[in-house]
Amino acid sequence: MTPEGSLLAASDLHKTYGATPALDGAEFSVHPGEVVAVLGPSGSGKSTLLHCLAGIIRPDRGTVRYADRDLTTMSDADRSALRRTDFGFVFQFGQLVPELTCLENVALPLRLNGARRKEAERQAREWLERLEVEEVHRQRPGEVSGGQGQRVAVARALATRPRVIFADEPTGALDSLNGERVMTLLTDAARETRAAVVLVTHETRVAAYSDREITVRDGKVKDLLAGLR
Ligand SMILES: Nc1ncnc2c1ncn2[C@@H]1O[C@H](COP(=O)(O)OP(=O)(O)OP(=O)(O)O)[C@@H](O)[C@H]1O
């Protein structure tokens, strides 16, 4: 059953890679505007959980419900379309398109969703301003610092106003000052737009920006507050 009022919820997720079990009955849910940190030791299944929740991989068993749809039974094409319109992604290394300027990188998802170039670039510029990196709009990702590049990546993830943002170690490649600034900008923008955030991290300092923490261990999820609700 989907927990009351949740936007994205997974139940009894199982995923095995060959003989390696990655998820073993994992449960998860997040509400609109809520930031959930996913903690746990290396290899415990955090990224696999995130990829199942985002419809990037299909679990062997279990369900992932987003709004009123079941991601596990949707076609690959429908899941790709949903990722483009409703989900945003931030990874450890920004994964910006190196040939495009920073402005074009942020405008890209808007263009893919049908916006005209001028309008996409106007909105992209606003997001760059908001993430405090307006000055790099003409530069290519290879010409900016790690912290600037990651802010551009966050701007790109937020530009389509996604309902869920998936962030996998978004500050992993940054020094602590830049990491904290990126987390503040990301979580403030998400709360303001009522986007849910699924934040995979191994740093408690980063998890401190969340509303709730869960821990993945051996492919199972432990919700630290479950007993208190
Ligand atoms: N594509 C894959 N092929 C084979 N095994 C995989 C694959 N992806 C993950 N695994 C295995 O599944 C288990 C869970 O991996 P996962 O990446 O989800 O863990 P994690 O908690 O995100 O780890 P880390 O913190 O190191 O990134 C590990 O044993 C890993 O080796």
Q: Which helix (H) or strand (E) holds 76?
A: helix 76-86
Atom number in ligand 1 closest to CA 48:
18
The interface predicted TM-score (ipTM) is 0.96
From residue 190, alpha-carbon distances to 68, 74, 103, 105, 168 in Å are 21, 26, 20, 20, 15
Q: 44: Cβ below 6 Å to ligand 1?
A: yes
Strand 8-17 to 20-30 pairing: antiparallel
Separation of alpha carbons 129 and 117, rounded Å: 18
Which H or E run contains 24?
strand 20-30
Res 226 pLDDT > 60: no
Residue 19: CB within 6 Å of ligand 1?
no
Identify the helix (H) or strand (E) that includes residue 220: strand 220-223
Atom of ligand 1 nearest to the CA of 202: 25
Query: Which residues lie below 8 Å from residue 188, measured CB to CB, with a gap of 6+?
Result: none
Structure confidence at residue 95 as a pLDDT band (50, 70, 90): confident
Query: Domains of the chain by range and CATH?
Result: 8-93+162-228 (3.40.50.300)
Q: Is the pLDDT of residue 194 over 60?
A: yes
| Cβ atoms 5, 31 nearer than 8 A | yes
The pLDDT mean for the chain works out to: 91
